[in-house]
Structure 1
Amino acid sequence: MSVVLQPEARQLFNAYKADVARANGVESAKQTFAVLPVPTQKIIQAYQQSADFLKLINIFPVDNAKGEKIAMSIGSTIAGNTNTNVQARQPTPVGALDLLDEYDCTQTNYDVAMKWILLNAWRHHTDFKKKLQEMVIRAVALDKLCIGFNGVYRAPTSDRVTNPLLQDVKKGWLQKIRDNAPEQHYEGIDIGGGVLKTQIGATHEFKTVDGLVEYGIEEYIAEQHRDRGLIAICGRGILSDKYLPLLNTIQDPTEQLAARTIYANKQLGTLPAMHVPTFPAKTILITTPDNLSIYIQNGTFNRSIVDEPQWDRAVDYQSINEDYVVEDYTKCLLIENIELDD
């Protein structure tokens, strides 16, 4: 059954498109246009406000499609002495330069379809334009996190049915660690048949998940990074397995309050624990949030908003060249295949 966009909804939607066009100095949003730098920056800030974890990482604009990573990470110690009667002083570069792992911004499409039945339903809202903008922004922001934590490779044409976590859109941070820094990737031990597991329990090397995390910090994180804002990013199941016995117990009021306080300040080992939407289960990433970046190539944010009556909808077509970057691999550890004994 065909749906008609109601006149009031049409008027509001046209005003929304006119605002977008005006902000970018074009006559109409129907034709594809390059989003101007100031609106681009505002949209990036809106992404970060829409998804809490994006506030913590870097989103860097870059001029070139490919190049060296740019975060100001101190990859080693820099203090030293030099006898200048014999040789010149040798400054240590600031920044984790890794010529074997340059960034490579490729196109990602963030196309949002808005069914006319939805626009009709929203026409009674006084904040119609704000609500529509926030819906588009949030959809893009959450997908950026989904790609960052689940992206494995870039397919010429992605398949959302086969890869619902956007595994085939682009390589994300975790896959960059697997591919580029296998020495910072702990998959567990072979329990037979090539099956790898990081087992935790009384009969295993790691008795608790806290012990696993502390082992990871001491053995895998470079010494100069161990006391500089590390966190443990994890799937929700990791925290449930650790804290459920504490919460699933009949306690007196004082003990209940203590348990809730402990849970509110969730930790894994000595690190603050953070659950992020779409982060893989049975996995922990130890790093600092500012060690993770999204690079966006300047001038590549293209957009058009068009009606598609054959589908009873409008579509906000967006594309941008971007890459997901781990700035310093010595400041991270990816632990996978975690299994806790009952």
Structure 2
Amino acid sequence: MSVVLQPQARQLFNSYKADIARANGVESTRETFAVQPAPTQKIIQAYQQNADFLKLINIFPIDNAKGEKIALSIGSTIAGNTNTNVQARQPTPVGALDLLDEYDCTQTNYDVAMKWVLLNAWRHFPDFKKKLQEMVIRAVALDKLCIGFNGVYRAPTSDRVANPLLQDVKKGWLQKIREKAPEQHYKGEDVGGGVFKTQIGAAHEFKTIDGLVEFGIEEYIAEQHRESGLVVICGRGILSDKYLPLLNAIQDPTEQIAARIIYANKQLGTLPAMYVPRFPAKTILITSFDNLSIYLQNGTFNRSIVDEPQWDRAVDYQSVNEDFVVEDYTKCLLIENIEVDA
């Protein structure tokens, strides 16, 4: 049955679109327009407010679609001596040295359909425009996390049914590690048939997840990075495996308080641990927050908001050229296929 956009909802929605057009110096949102730098910066800040993890990592605006990575970091030690009677001093470059791993920003579409029945229902809210904006912003922010942690390849046309975690939209951080730095990828032992497991328990090499993390730091993270703000990023199940026995025990009030304090300061090994939405199960990423970046190419954030009455909806069409970048592979370790014995 056809749905009509109610006059009050139409008035509010038109005001919402007019605000966006005004902020970007265009007459209407019906035709595709390039989002201006100031609104772009506000939208990036809104992404960060709606997905806390995006506050912690780098979101860099860049001019070129391809090029060398730009994070301001030192990829090695820098101290040394030089006999200048024989040769010139050799300064250590700031930033990435891996010229074989340049960033490559390609288009990602973040198109949001708003059914008229939804807009009609929301017309009674005094903060209609704010709710609508937050819905769109939050959807985009969470999808950026989903791509970053689950993206495997870029298909010409993605299939959300076959790839519900956006595996076919773009290569994310974890896939970059698998492909570009296999020496920083621990997938466990081959248990037969091409199946790999990182087994945790009394009968295995790693007795605890804590032991696994400490092994990873010492064996895989470059020595100069081991004291530089490393964290353990993981899915919820990894933390449950460690802390559920503590929280599930019958305890007196003093012990309960102690258990909650321990859980509030979650650690794996000697590092702080953080659960992040959309992070894959049975997986751990050891790195620092500033080692993960999203590059957004300037001038490529395009948008249009149009009515589609044939579908009883309006659509906010958005696209941007972007890439998910690991700045220094020697400062990370990806551990997969983790299984903890009961």
The residue aligned with 1:123 is 123
Deviation at residue 183 of structure 1 after TM alignment? 0.2
The residue aligned with 2:215 is 215
Where in structure 2 are the equivalents of 1:94-173 lying within 5 Å?
94-173=94-173
Which letter maps to 2:80? Answer: G
Q: Deviations over 1:73-123 (max 9, x none)?
A: 210011111111111111111112211100000000000000111101111
Instruction: Give the structure-1-normalised TM-score.
Output: 0.99
- Matches of 1:225 and 1:6 in 2, distance apart? 58
Q: Deviations over 1:228-271 (max 9, x none)?
A: 11000001100111111111111111111111111111100001
- Matches of 1:300 and 1:34 in 2, distance apart? 7
The residue aligned with 1:252 is 252
Which letter maps to 1:2? Answer: S
Instruction: Give the structure-2-normalised TM-score.
Output: 0.99
- Aligned pair 1:13/2:13, yes or no? yes
Determine helix, strand or coil for the equivalent of 1:191.
strand
- Aligned pair 1:69/2:69, yes or no? yes
- Matches of 1:256 and 1:307 in 2, distance apart? 55
RMSD value over aligned CA atoms? Answer: 0.6
Q: Which moved more, 1:51-60 or 1:79-88?
A: 79-88
Structure 1 gap segments, 5+ residues each: none
The residue aligned with 2:4 is 4
Where in structure 2 are the equivalents of 1:35-74 lying within 5 Å?
35-74=35-74
Determine helix, strand or coil for the equivalent of 2:192.
coil
The residue aligned with 1:182 is 182
Structure 2 gap segments, 5+ residues each: none
Which letter maps to 1:135? Answer: M
Identity %: 88
- Matches of 1:260 and 1:38 in 2, distance apart? 43
The residue aligned with 2:296 is 296
How many pairs does the alignment contain? Answer: 342
Divergent runs of 4+, >3 A: none
Deviation at residue 153 of structure 1 after TM alignment? 0.1
The residue aligned with 2:201 is 201
Deviation at residue 197 of structure 1 after TM alignment? 0.3
- Matches of 2:323 and 2:97 in 1, distance apart? 17
The residue aligned with 1:321 is 321
- Matches of 1:304 and 1:190 in 2, distance apart? 50
- Matches of 2:55 and 2:321 in 1, distance apart? 20
Q: Deviations over 1:104-149 (max 9, x none)?
A: 0000000000011110111111111111101100000000000000
